[in-house]
Chain A
Amino acid sequence: MSQGMHLSNTETVPGKLITASYGLVQGSTVRAKNVFKDIGAGFKNMVGGELKAYTELLQEARNEALQRMMLDAQARGANAIVNVRFATSAVSGGAAELFAYGTAVTVQ
């Protein structure tokens, strides 16, 4: 919740009233999901289990997508985003786009 912006994945921000709506806002990052930074990560797939390098990489990417979405909403004068959804889609070349979208609103 940076810049004092409320985020919610429900239709409203619980406990608050929506007074204005500014339409759909979005933020996205494209990351090369299948580029291992080091040999160690390649070996990790040998035994399976949690791929920590990816977990951190994708977490950063998701936060970045959220930040961009919040900037988009702020530019429209909103102070909250409701019905936040995430989507991941494959882009050619083996990269993936992490996409966050929602409806920018003003709440009181």
Chain B
Amino acid sequence: MSGLFKDARFFLLLAIAAAIGVSLAAGSFNRYYLGIAIDVGINIILAVSLNLINGHTGQFSLGHAGFMAVGGYVAAKMTLLYGAALFLPALFVGGVVAALVGLAVGVPSLRLRGDYLAIVTLGFGEIIRVVFQTSEFFGAATGLTGISKLTSFAWAWGLAAVTVYVVACLVNSTYGRGFIAVHDDEIAASAMGINPVRYKVTAFVIGAFFAGIAGGLYAHHKAVISPSGFDFIKSIEIVVMVIMGGMGRTAGVILAAIILTILPELLRGVAEYRMIIYSLLIIGLMLTRPQGLFTISRKK
């Protein structure tokens, strides 16, 4: 396994450098395409981090939009209050707060399995949204407006590279084997000295952290965030990326995030039929490749 990831740090630096390079030239790009490219980067972060929870560790969470909302609101409020200079700390704090919420949600709910966990996380996601919707401090139903547009291509893709790096490193370590063991057979895992709760909560908290980062990027990309943007449809969108990419296959999930972000934009031409075609394509893909886009066997 060391062959593939021996130079992981090198690839990380390369990816970040490439992101910054592209970003420097961004002035000459079509602003519409640039916007979509940033959306893609953000969605990669969301999908890859959810994949850690749903795919690798096998804990079906439907609350990812909730963690994204936490990160987005916290980061946006910070730059609104203290200025744009604090962008990076704001993203980080947003991620940390989302991780803390993930911890608070994860510890009680990860006792549940399968469908039950999905329903509980769905409920938590909605609670988080409603809390923001009723909080005057966070702009209630209107949300927050006038957020500085600080998310550049470099930020979105640089942090996407960091997310992929972190997830890939964890998966190829004792943590990864723990996650997969819990996924495959919790009882056998615990009989082999793996503490299932610990691994589940770890995956959940790290996933929530990156969802929070993605939320912060999203807020500073759209300049406006409102509670309606973080409803459970958003969580479903991310889940679809993970399932379509192939649960637990990082490369496939990245590809699915790219396709599923660009596809609705490509279909804008056919206006009202857009969502129908989009849905049909997803159904078609699931029928023909239920195992996901990428199914190269796990070689370690």
Q: A and B: real partners?
A: no
A interface, CB within 8 angstroms of B = none
B interface, CB within 8 angstroms of A = none
